[in-house]
């Protein structure tokens, strides 16, 4: 097999076509993560399966997380263009099946397929751009790609709402088809590859299998705990323990594999190791905020769903701006200072959420969301470019996908951790309130065990006024402790940023092996 890879010598016109195609498919992958949010009430009304609601979102991110490291490694061994087209093909099949779904179970299965293709697209988009552009240009282009991700997260819910209101909900998936065709044509025409030396690589099938099983178990447990009323169940702990045991087996497999799916020696490179730590911690910060700010805004401050959407829009736009700024900043002042600036903004954002012990006001949350978004953009782009530049050219694929895997795990872990903290505090408060409100029916207490139910008008209507007056501060207090946990993690992130080297992309020493 010939390990073909994108070429930096590709002429400008062809490179522009290829990058336009890559930008379009990364936009489609990112937008499909959020476009269903405003469409789900309509989809549930048509297909039923309300109890499976959350899995339409979770399964997409779960399966994309599984394929990201696999395709990242394959990109170092085989044709990157061919792998991108395979990923696009899987994504196309998934989109078609989503649009044709006749039940919620079919929808979840189709979203799983869509996520498998999306994970390949996600990894390969950043890998191809990383190969097509040298150091300084790479930072700028990766900033633009990251900015497109931020814009997609904004337009997803808006686009879903427009399509559902004016057409059939199935078109939120079918609209992908012509756009995928355009992107495919651009990549086929524009992406030229250099042919490497012919060889038959030894595929690490055992390592890939162990990694997939271990990640599947852990991500499933984290996703399940994020949706449960009692995250730390014995079943969840057992699944996580088994997943960790499988990953320990994976570690020993990788030590012996001739072509490991995740080469462990990349973690001997100081810049790569510190970049991975900062990327993981920054993802914890932003996904923790995205997951629990809506509950605070609506459940505690009484903001409407549209108002909450505008606050998250501020965060997303900040993410986009931070990515673009980082692309310029790391070329001038180096990785360390930009990463520290990003983590400092994340700390500042969380500080605004916890500084008023009685609870942050709307203005605090808006400014905090902007700071968190800009901070994530700075840290996200900086760690990506640093990781790609720290390794030899033939390892860009696995270095990129491994970083993305840690980032995804960080986000999933933070959602579960902050949820555990919040629910622990909330359940303590409910136990005290239950003793002094014996007239409240048991069914209502069961509903209140899940704080998300406080956002439903029907549930609030059942709650006595005097009890509601105690529940809202209790929820605010529980979320305060969750945000305090996030703040502590971001402080650790600043410390991790201090260990990043102060190189610029142009001055980074690069190993040849």
Beta carbons within 8 Å of 350's beta carbon, 6+ residues apart: 285, 289, 368, 372, 483, 486, 487, 490
| Number of neighbours of residue 197 by Cβ within 10 angstroms | 6
Which pLDDT score is estimated for 376? 94
pLDDT in tens, 125-158: 888 888 888 766 777 788 888 778 777 776 776 7
Which pLDDT score is estimated for 5? 53
Q: How far is CA 254 from CA 208, 209, 261, 270, 426, in A?
A: 9, 12, 7, 20, 43
Per-position DSSP letters for 144-205, written without gaps between them: HHHHHHHHHHHHHHHHHHHHHHHS-TTHHHHTHHHHHHHHHHHHHHH--EE----------H
Which pLDDT score is estimated for 6? 56
What mean pLDDT is reported for the chain? 84
User: What 3 state SS string does 66-120 have?
Assistant: HHHHHHHHHHHHCCHHHHHHHHHHHHHHHHHHHHHCCCHHHHHHHHHHHHHHHHH
Phi/psi at 351 (5° precision) = -60, -40
User: Does 489 or 197 have the greater pLDDT score?
Assistant: 489
Whether 60 and 111 have beta carbons less than 8 Å apart is answered as yes
For residue 510, pLDDT beyond 70:
yes
Which pLDDT score is estimated for 481? 93
1: pLDDT confidence band, cut at 50, 70 and 90?
A: very low
Which pLDDT score is estimated for 86? 95
For residue 408, pLDDT beyond 90:
no
Q: How far is CA 454 from CA 152, 298, 435, 449, 451, in A?
A: 29, 9, 20, 10, 6
Sign of CA dihedral 478, 479, 481, 485: positive
For residue 437, pLDDT beyond 70:
no
For residue 285, pLDDT beyond 80:
yes
pTM of this prediction?
0.82
What is the rounded average pLDDT of the residues 363-385? 94
Distance from C-alpha of 376 to C-alpha of 454, rounded to nearest angstrom: 30
Which pLDDT score is estimated for 467? 79
pLDDT in tens, 9-51: 557 888 889 889 988 988 888 888 777 766 776 787 788 776 6
For residue 4, pLDDT beyond 60:
no
232: pLDDT confidence band, cut at 50, 70 and 90?
A: low
pLDDT in tens, 192-228: 776 655 456 667 889 888 988 998 888 888 777 766 6
Distance from C-alpha of 96 to C-alpha of 100, rounded to nearest angstrom: 6
């Amino acid at each position: 097999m010939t390990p073909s890879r994108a070429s930096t010598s590709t002429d400008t016109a062809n490179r522009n076509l290829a990058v336009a195609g890559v930008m379009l498919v990364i936009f489609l992958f990112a937008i499909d993560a959020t476009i269903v949010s405003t469409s789900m009430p309509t989809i549930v009304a048509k297909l039923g399966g309300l109890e499976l609601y959350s899995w339409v979102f979770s399964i997409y991110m779960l399966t994309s997380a599984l394929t990201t490291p696999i395709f990242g490694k394959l990109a170092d061994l085989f044709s990157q263009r061919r792998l991108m087209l395979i990923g696009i093909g899987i994504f196309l099949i998934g989109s078609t099946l989503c649009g044709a779904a006749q039940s919620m179970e079919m929808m979840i299965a189709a979203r799983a397929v869509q996520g498998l293709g999306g994970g390949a697209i996600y990894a390969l988009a950043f890998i191809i751009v990383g190969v097509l552009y040298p150091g300084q240009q790479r930072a700028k282009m990766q900033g633009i790609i990251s900015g497109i991700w931020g814009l997609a997260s904004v337009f997803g819910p808006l686009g879903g709402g427009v399509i559902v209101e004016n057409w059939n909900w199935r078109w939120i998936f079918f609209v992908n088809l012509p756009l995928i065709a355009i992107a495919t044509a651009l990549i086929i025409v524009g992406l030229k590859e250099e042919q490497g030396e012919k060889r038959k690589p030894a595929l690490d099938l055992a390592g890939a299998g162990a990694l997939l099983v271990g990640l599947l178990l852990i991500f499933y447990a984290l996703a399940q705990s994020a949706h449960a009323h009692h995250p730390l169940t014995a079943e969840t702990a057992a699944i996580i323990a088994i997943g960790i045991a499988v990953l320990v087996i994976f570690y020993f497999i990788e030590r012996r594999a001739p072509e490991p799916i995740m080469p462990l020696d990349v973690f001997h490179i100081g810049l790569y190791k510190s970049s991975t730590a900062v990327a993981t911690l920054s993802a914890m910060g932003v996904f923790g905020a995205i997951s629990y700010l809506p509950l605070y805004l609506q459940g505690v401050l009484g903001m409407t769903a549209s108002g909450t959407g505008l606050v998250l829009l501020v965060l997303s736009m900040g993410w986009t701006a931070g990515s673009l700024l980082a692309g310029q900043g790391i070329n001038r002042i180096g990785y360390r200072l930009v990463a520290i600036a990003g983590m400092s903004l994340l700390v500042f954002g969380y500080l605004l959420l916890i500084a008023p012990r009685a609870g942050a006001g709307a203005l605090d949350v808006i400014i905090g969301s902007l700071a968190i978004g800009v901070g994530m953009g700075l840290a996200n782009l900086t760690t990506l470019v640093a990781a790609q530049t720290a390794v030899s050219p033939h390892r860009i694929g696995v270095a990129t996908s491994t970083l993305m895997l840690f980032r995804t795990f960080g986000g999933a872990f933070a959602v579960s951790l902050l949820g555990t903290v919040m629910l622990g505090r909330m359940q303590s408060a409910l136990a005290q309130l239950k003793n002094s409100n014996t007239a409240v029916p048991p069914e209502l207490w069961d509903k209140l065990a899940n704080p998300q139910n406080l956002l439903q008008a029907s549930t609030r209507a059942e709650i006595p006024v005097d009890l509601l007056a105690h529940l809202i501060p209790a929820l605010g207090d529980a979320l305060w402790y969750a945000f305090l946990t996030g703040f502590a993690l971001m402080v650790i992130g600043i410390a991790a940023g201090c260990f990043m080297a102060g190189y610029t992309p142009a001055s980074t020493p690069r190993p040849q092996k």
